[in-house]
Amino acid sequence: MNTTVVGSYPKIPDPPAPGRWRTSVEKLQRGEITREDLHRVEDEVTAEVLREQADAGVDLLTDGQIRWEDAFTYFARGLDGFTINGLQRYFDTNVYYRQPVATAEVAWRGPITVADYQFAATHSARPVKAVVTGPFTLAVLSKDEFYGTLDQFVMALAAALNKELRALAAAGATVIQVDEPGLLARRDQFPLFRRAAEALWDGVIATRAMYTYFGHLDGLYPAILDLPVSVIGVDFVAAPKNWDVLRRAKFTKVLGAGVLDARNTRLESADEVAAACRRAAEIVPAEMLQIGPSAGLEFLPRRVARRKLEALVSGVRAARGGAS
Amino acid sequence: MTAAATPTAVATLLPTTTVGSFPKPPSLLEARRKVARKQMDGAELQALERRATEEWIRRQEELDIDILVDGEMYRGDMVAFFADQMDGFEIAGLVRSYGNRYYPKPVVVRPVGRRGPLTVDWFRFAQGLTPRPVKGMLTGPYTIAEWSFNEYYPSRRELVMELARAIHDEAIDLERAGARYIQIDEPAIHTRPDEDFELAVEAMDVVTRGLNAYTVTHVCYGDVPKIYPAMLRLAVNQIDLALKNDEFALLETFRSPRFTKDIGLGVLDAHSHRAESPDEIVDGIRRTLDVIPAAQIYVSPDCGLKTRTIDETVAKLGAMVEGTRRVRRELGA
């Protein structure tokens, strides 16, 4: 049983500490610094959040997605075929993203996240996983003005992002996570999702993880176990129902169990986390468990995110102790 | 509340109004920063807020807008403004909404409730400056709950309903202070449509119960078709919506079933720098007239305009009023 995170991490520290990233963006907008200067700050903040996760004791880290303005723009800008529209609300949050619009053939023109992964891997004391927004979620939250059917749009994105995953694997990423919360918003499209997953992961030599969050897997389970991945992330906080859903069939993958509420400041106690771990251990053997928050932690103030990770690690340690 | 009980305070066809916030003048922004750094006292800030409010009242009169707002010169975030003054809340910290924009996100740590009126003094001040009606502006219970962390109440329902009672009391106080129009902003209302839209409907019932004022709710972004036609059950006279940012695509949704409430028709994109032309406004209203009768239409921007500059805001509103006038003439009104 080990610990991990889902992805994003707060970009700025709590006041009165200076929010360097935020003030740098303002300076860039006023033309006082260059884009390269901002990238340097993003590097520093990335190193800082890697350290913070490691200090909290988390086993498998991410780069915190400090460079991502949001999970969609970052990829849409890196691919051919997209323009970027106005603000849309991101799922059930008071967080916004700019909606990508496919206006031409979508294609991979070069690595989008590879340099980020390499930077994180070389600046982290602990293993880092690469994270990519999945083709299905990207399609569902974008606007299609080119393909005409969701099927064609999703499959084109899967083919393009397959190249990104291959590039990450070639650059040394041993664990690659693809985020697909969009599946839960369009569960009727699972046959398409599955075909897209086959294309997406084709020839990708790495530990493959697929994360869902913000909802339940009712209607998708156990079919979801057929996906060509070895880790499936499940949100037990937004959807406590998942505890029951996963009992309906033997869970045959590594379970990325989201048990810590990434959407509320209320701090879980180590005991609560340990209890959730023991419950998860009834679904899969402990060695097939990766315990983490329910979603990216960016929606929380930094101090709270940090404390949540500490509670996570203490809880998992307590559960491990109890199990041995 | 039924449409029959609707008070008609503005006689003109296609009344013009705005959603609530206007940009703060640079001097006021600077003053707010100084107060935050404790380099200026609250009284000095309030004098600047009053001056800026008066300027916006005059601008709206000059633009010939029918139903005015105070412009919210004294508010920061639309949820934190209420949370700061109510019992039960603390500020958890800064949370990013987009780009480098962060908002102070409240957290509920104790039972929530109103200590006293929250918006009434500012309403009185603004209404005292003009013979035109000024809207009372409230943030709705569902949105306050949804955009706060909840560490106290066991369920969202309990928090939302407690807030609904508090916002109802505030609405009653606004009405007593002379507000003929009261807007309850609920931009988060369609956050979990399957799970608890009924809760949002119940909460609005509590907020507007017994009011004689004309009531409005503003909903923006998100998947509006998903809450249609259910949203027509919200206990308000008018639902104000952002039409322009999707070039009036929502009209297709409103063809069937029929839009039975008044609509606050958003005809200005609140997040673009460009001023729409009067022709675009005319076109938007004409397309709407094909779906919703003129008597049910109020013309407004898509959203609060606080992120625009003052010049952009005046240019956009000028086009809105001019475009609306042209349509009125076409309709012989």
Contact A300 B95 (CB under 8 A): yes
pTM score: 0.88
Q: Among candidates A287, A189, A235, A254, which has minimal Cα distance to A7?
A: A235
In chain A, where the domains are located: 2-319
Least CB–CB distance from B98: residue in A11, A95, A304 = A95
Give yes or no for a contact between B80 and B94, defined as CB atoms under 8 angstroms apart.
no
DSSP secondary structure letters along A234-271: EETTT-TTHHHHGGGS---SEEEEEEE-TT--PPPPHH
d(CA B312, CA B274): 7
- The packing angle between helices B156-176 and B193-208, to 10°, is 30
Residue listed under structure tokens 């106080």: B173
Least CB–CB distance from A301: residue in B94, B97, B147 = B94
Residue listed under structure tokens 């909606």: A99
HSE value, Cβ hemisphere, 13 Å, CA-based, for B8: 12
B100 CB within 8 Å of a chain A CB:
yes
A12 CB within 8 Å of a chain B CB:
yes
d(CA A301, CA B47): 33
Number of residues in chain A: 324
Give yes or no for a contact between A235 and A242, defined as CB atoms under 8 angstroms apart.
yes
Least CB–CB distance from A96: residue in B92, B94, B97 = B97
Contact A86 B269 (CB under 8 A): yes
A125 CB within 8 Å of a chain B CB:
no
Query: B185 to each of A158, A221, B49, B304, how far by Cα in Å?
Result: 40, 39, 22, 10
As its CATH architecture, domain A2-319 has Alpha-Beta Barrel (3.20)
- If DSSP codes are grouped into helix, strand and coil, which group holds residue A108? strand
pLDDT in tens for each of the 324 residues of chain A?
A: 999 999 999 999 988 888 899 999 999 999 999 999 999 999 999 999 999 999 999 999 999 999 998 999 999 999 999 999 877 777 766 788 889 999 999 999 999 999 999 999 999 999 999 999 999 999 999 999 999 999 999 999 999 999 999 999 999 999 999 999 999 999 999 999 999 999 999 999 999 999 999 999 999 999 999 999 999 999 999 999 999 999 999 999 999 999 999 999 999 999 999 999 999 999 999 999 999 999 999 989 999 999 999 999 999 999 998 654
* Both tokens assigned to A147: 């393909």
Give yes or no for a contact between A276 and A315, defined as CB atoms under 8 angstroms apart.
yes
B147 CB within 8 Å of a chain A CB:
yes
ipTM above 0.95, yes or no: no
Contacts B269 to A, Cβ<8 Å: 86
Residue listed under structure tokens 């409907």: B201
How many Cβ atoms are within 10 Å of B274's Cβ, its own excluded? 10
Contact A95 B271 (CB under 8 A): no
Structural domains in chain B, sorted by start: 64-330 (3.20.20.210)
d(CA A35, CA A33): 7
A vs B: CB pairs below 8 A? 75
Contact A301 B92 (CB under 8 A): yes
Contact A304 B146 (CB under 8 A): no
